[in-house]
Structure 1
Amino acid sequence: MSLNSFPYQLYLVISEADCAGKNFLQVAEKAILGGVDVIQLREKNSSTDSFLAKAQQLIELTDKYSVPLIINDNIEVAEKVNTAGIHVGNSDASPVYLRQQPLLHHKIIGYSIEYLSQLKNEQTAVSDYLGISPVFRTDTKTDTITEWGLEGIKTIRLLTEKPLVAIGHIHLGNAKEVMNAGADCLAVVSAICSAPDPQKAAYQLKNEILK
Structure 2
Amino acid sequence: MSVQAVVFDIGNVLIEWQPERHYDAKFGEARRREMFEAVDLHGMNDRIDMGGPFKDTIYDEAEKYSQYRAEIRDWFDSWIKMASPEIPQSVLLLRALRAKSIPVFALSNFGVESFAYAETVYPFLGEFDKRYISGHMEVIKPDQKIYEMVEADCGVAPAGLLFADDRVDNIAAADARGWQTHLFETPKGWAKRLVDEGLLTSEEAGL
User: What's the TM-score, normalizing by structure 1?
Assistant: 0.29
- Which structure has more relative contact order (CA 8 Å, sep 6+)? It is 2
More strand by share: 1
- The structure having more radius of gyration, on CA atoms, is 2
User: What's the TM-score, normalizing by structure 2?
Assistant: 0.29
More helix by share: 2
